[in-house]
Structure 1
Amino acid sequence: MGTIKNTLWKQKLDQLLHKFFSGETMNYKQIIAIIIPIVVDQGFLVIMSLLNTAMISSSGVAAVSAVSMVDSLNIFLINVFVAIATGGTVIVAQYKGSGNQERVARSASQTISAVTGLSLIITACILAFHTPILNGLFGQAEEAVFQNAKLYLIGSCLSYPLIAMFQAINGVLRGMAETKTCLALSLIMNITYLLLNVLLVVWLDMGVMGLIISMLISRALGMATSLYYLTRINHSLQFKLKQLLHLDRSILAKIMFIGFPFALEQMFFNGGKLLTQTFIVKLGTAAMTINAISGSISMVFQIVGSALSIAIVTVVGQCIGRKNIKDARKFIKSLLGLSTVVFILVGIVLMPFFSYIVAIFSPPKEIISSIYALTLLIVFAQPFLWSLSFVLPAALRAAGDSRFTSVTSLISMWLFRIIFGYILGITLGFGLMGVWIAMVAEWGIRGAIFGWRFRGEKWYQHKII
């Protein structure tokens, strides 16, 4: 009897998955094979972030605040590399879908060249102007926080070319649907980072300097292993290092058509976040700590959503490469629905364990209630607003609709998250809660605009390849 029930359950599940996640371009098994490694990778990255924040907490509030501040700038810059790499992912995925292997290989080399070159320029600029940058962003921070931030920024900056090349190679592999390889490379780099942090930060109590050493070694290893895979193990691309020196303007133009607007979006979008950080600095070190811990916890709830926003680029890109708009629409709707359901389930499962999660960071008791309030806000808002605001634009971008998504994101960010956040948080005195309410409101407005765009036809009418 039990065997019959299991068989019926499997048949119903198979029918459900086939209905929503299978089409002419790919079937549900292929889509699951793309998604699962990315979910595992994102989950590991978030857990790593939580553990690293917890480990640096042992070095004091000043160290936590400094790392949080500079990581905002790091995210701002690394997302620029990721944006250009995403341009490569889209082009590689579309050529892969069209069956043009020669163009896939050329797109791969051009993506790596573009991202690495950009990272070297940014590294030189940050090293030259790190002091005025920190003064402009965090000049009102306490002296101990500022000095830790200066040390951490210089150390982080030296690792930019390493992480940029790693991200570029992973972007290429995702476009080819080799997400298992991306997961393996990510695990090698991040497990190394974790183990070195345990050694240097926890056992040897090296604080911020320990984080820097761990970061440089692990990212160098990540870059080296990814290059080794591309040159020695992956035979489909026939990739050689000398190809990085040969620039193909036509391919670069296609990559930048997608990547450049997205890079500008990331610069202004994360620049807005940095500006928001300056609001929070005015609220004091306690508010900065609450924001850092709450932000880390929110990342736990966003693991699957973030993974789907990455996976959907490969799925939609290959559909568009085959000129199958019907499949693209179907998979976008299905993945948006999946994201919403998962957000609800994650909130139900994790909120009862909030006290255990927040304990990882060892926060002062007086700020725990504030962290809980911010977490509760996003738990209720994410299922209905986050997917439309982040997963859907990734899909539109995969179809070549990069300019519209970028302009929309920039306008909504600056009009609502920044201006509205300042009014609520500072002018009206709602503090950190006001800043976060403005952020959630911006999700809703941006998501509504993207939903309207998706219902039309212009988003898939761009001819990229």
Structure 2
Amino acid sequence: MSLTKQDRKITLFALTWPIFIEVLLHMLMGNADTLMLSQYSDQSVAAVGVSNQILFLLIVMFGFIATGTTILVAQYLGAKQYKNAKDISSVSISANLLIGLLISVIIYIASEDILHLMNIPEELLGEATFYLQVVGGFSFVQALIMTAGAILKSYGYTKDTMYLTIGMNILNIIGNYFFIFGPFGFPILGVQGVAISTVVSRIIGLVVILYMLKQRVHFTLNIKEIFSLPVHHLKNLLRIGVPTAGEQFSYNTSQMIITVFITMIGTEALTTKIYTQNLMMLILLFSLAVSQGTQILIGYLIGAKDYEGAYKRCLQSLYAGVAISTIMAIIFSIFSDTLLGIFTSNEDILKTGGILILLTIILEPGRAFNMIIISSLRAVGDIRFPTYMAIISMWGLAVPIAYILGIHFELGLVGVWIAFITDEWFRGIVMLHRWKSRAWESKQFITRAAAN
């Protein structure tokens, strides 16, 4: 018996708009922290920004299981192999729980040492360490939320994860307000308060999403059952997840190195980067939502062995993603002073940030190519090629160009943005050629391999 909505035709729009709202709210949660802290201290904003750079790297470790889960569950549902879909869900949640607990312990113990490696300014160290220890120490909670969310999305319940994110945002903003502004006699804790608010909202979110999982797909975590599941489920997860993690790990570590370059320029440059990237995240939002929805749909199509439908679906999504990201980047550039003015009144930050957002008009369409086509390649089983190209491009182009232009030729953040543009467009063009070559049709698809 089917426990999902997959027997009804699920459209890209039906999948994407709740993902759009959910990801928007995730970004707004981060922006809310930045905006509310900017009323407290620009220094605190920089401290949280550096810590979050490290936390993004941790999310990669959880994301590779979640990505594998999304693809495998969608393919099994497309092939109407419902028991395999449920078994994969069990394996993925238990695997991410173990990985999350291990990483949480490591990050709590080594937070200050990691920040020293990033060459963080001494005046930021105390606040950054506290934030990293608290939020990083509970990162296993985020690991479970990501995995449970991936399962619900693959079954078609994208609205559920959207509603959950709305609730978590509300709780986080309320907590930030109390701890940053101190109404009704609450202690003003700044960064410490933001960290506590973030963790508490995530813990409550975890309880709710596990309940949703039980209600929607009748899933409950049974430890004894997990250890009796076929080993090939874990192998298939790793087959997708490890190369995917390699790509994301490469991206985040290269971004950390580039952040180190920016710390050489100064704290103001670091703060400018954080404010500008907060706005850029809103620009790439549509492409991100479309890429996730497309990945699920292509997973269904591959499970049903409709390869021609999968090919066309990717290109249709790509055209929409590139068009919308370009339009949004132009709009943001026109209103850059007003948007950056929400965060700061510093004239130097407003001037430099405005130039960076102008360059984003070139950057974001290239990023749309990567996000949508790479998600599609993963969904059809072509996992390794995007990883190899990512490593070549990020470390062969982005990092060296950022240093040469940004530091050596003293172009600062403008040089760094040119490096980002070069990396995204190079990979985007290569990915488009890969998809149109249809080389992925010769790959051994995951569900076919499992069935054999």
Give the TM-score of the pair, scaled to structure 1: 0.90
Match of 2:327 in 1: 345
Quick check: 1:97 aligned with 2:78?
yes
- 1:112 is aligned with what amino acid? I
Matches within 5 A, 1:117-266: 117-138=98-119, 141-203=120-182, 204-231=187-214, 233-234=215-216, 236-242=217-223, 243-244=225-226, 246-266=228-248
Match of 2:402 among 421, 425, 443: 421
Where do 5+ consecutive residues of structure 2 fail to align?
A: 1-6, 448-452
| SS in structure 1 at match of 2:435 | helix
Which string of whole-angstrom CA distances, capped at 9 and with x for unpartnered residues, describes residues 422-460 of structure 1? 111111211111011001100011111111111123223
Would the aligned equivalents of 2:341 and 2:350 in 1 still touch at CA under 8 Å?
Answer: no
Kept after mapping to 2: 8 A contact 1:62/1:148: no
Q: Counterpart of 2:241 in 1: which secondary structure?
A: helix
Shift of 1:267: 1.6
Aligned equivalents of 2:130, 2:113: Cα separation in 1: 14
Do the aligned partners of 2:118 and 2:260 also contact (CA within 8 Å) in 1? yes
Taking the aligned partners of 2:76 and 2:188, their CA distance within structure 1 comes to 49
Contact 2:46 2:274 in 1 (8 A): yes
Q: Deviations over 1:35-73 (max 9, x none)?
A: 110111122222222222011112212211110101001
SS at 2:258 equivalent = helix
**Alpha-carbon offset, residue 247 of structure 1:** 4.9
Deviation at 1:215, TM superposition (A): 1.1
> Which of the residues 348, 353, 370 maps onto 1:389?
370
Q: Which runs of 5+ in 1 are unaligned?
A: 1-24
Q: Does 1:400 find its partner at 2:407?
A: no
Q: CA deviation at 1:359?
A: 1.6
The question of 1:309 aligning with 2:291 is answered yes
Q: Is the 8 A contact 2:363 2:420 kept in 1?
A: no
AA in 1 matched with 2:296: T
Partner of 1:84: 65
Q: Relative to 1, partners in 2 of residues 1:111 and 1:39: Cα closer, same or farther, differing over 3 Å?
A: same
**Contact (CA 8 Å) 1:110, 1:244: kept in 2 or not?**
yes
1:285 corresponds to = 267
C-alpha distance in 2 between matches for 1:51 and 1:216 = 15
Whether the 8 Å CA contact 1:111–1:172 is kept in 2: the answer is no
Taking a change above 3 Å as real, the CA distance of residues 363 and 45 of structure 1, as seen in their structure-2 partners, is farther
Q: Deviations over 1:163-191 (max 9, x none)?
A: 10000001111222211112122222222
Q: Within 1, Cα distance between the matches of 2:440 and 2:269?
A: 41
Match for 1:215: what amino acid?
T
Tell me the distance in 2 between the aligned counterparts of 1:365 and 1:127: 37
Q: Secondary structure of 2:410's partner? A: coil
Tell me how far apart the structure 2 counterparts of residues 367 and 182 of structure 1 sit (CA, whole Å).
35
Q: Higher mean Cα deviation, 237-246 or 275-284? A: 237-246
Let me know the Cα RMSD of the aligned residues: 1.8
Larger mean Cα displacement after TM superposition, 332-341 or 129-138 = 129-138
Relative to 1, partners in 2 of residues 1:380 and 1:222: Cα closer, same or farther, differing over 3 Å?
same
Q: Is the 8 A contact 2:332 2:357 kept in 1?
A: no
Q: In the alignment, is the contact (CA less than 8 A) between 2:333 and 2:354 conserved in 1? A: no
Contact 2:74–2:300 (CA under 8 A) maintained in structure 1: yes
Cα deviation code 1:226-245 (max 9, x no counterpart): 111122x12x3443443455
Alignment of 1:112 with 2:93, yes or no, is yes
2:4 aligned partner? none
Report how far residue 394 of structure 1 moved: 0.8
**Structure 1 match to 2:426:** 445
CA positional deviation for 1:90: 0.4
TM-score calculated relative to the size of structure 2: 0.92
User: Does the CA contact (< 8 Å) of 2:301 and 2:307 recur in 1?
Assistant: yes
Count of aligned pairs between the two proteins = 436
Distance 1:247 1:155, change over 3 A: farther
Question: Aligned partners of 2:151, 2:360: CA distance in 1, in Å?
Answer: 32
> 1-side partners of 2:181 and 2:300: how far apart?
45
Cα distance in 1 between the residues matched to 2:229 and 2:201: 29
1:58 aligns with 2:36: no
Aligned positions of 1:33-72 closer than 5 A: 33-72=14-53
Residue type of the alignment partner of 2:168: M
Alignment correspondent of 1:267: 249
Alpha-carbon shift at residue 344 of structure 1 (Å):
2.7
Aligned partner of 1:329: which letter? Y
Which residue, 431, 435, 438 being the options, matches 1:457?
438
Deviation at 1:323, TM superposition (A): 0.8
Greater CA deviation, 286-295 or 241-250? 241-250
CA distance in 2, matches of 1:60, 1:91: 45
Q: Please give the residue correspondences for 1:360-375 in structure 2 after superposition, counting only pairs within 5 Å.
A: 360-375=342-357
Tell me, in whole angstroms, the C-alpha distance in 1 between the residues paired with 2:27 and 2:227: 35
Q: Distance in 2 between matches of 1:240 and 1:119?
A: 16
Distance 1:52 1:114, change over 3 A: same
Deviations 1:379-403 (A, max 9, x none): 23323x1211221101101111111
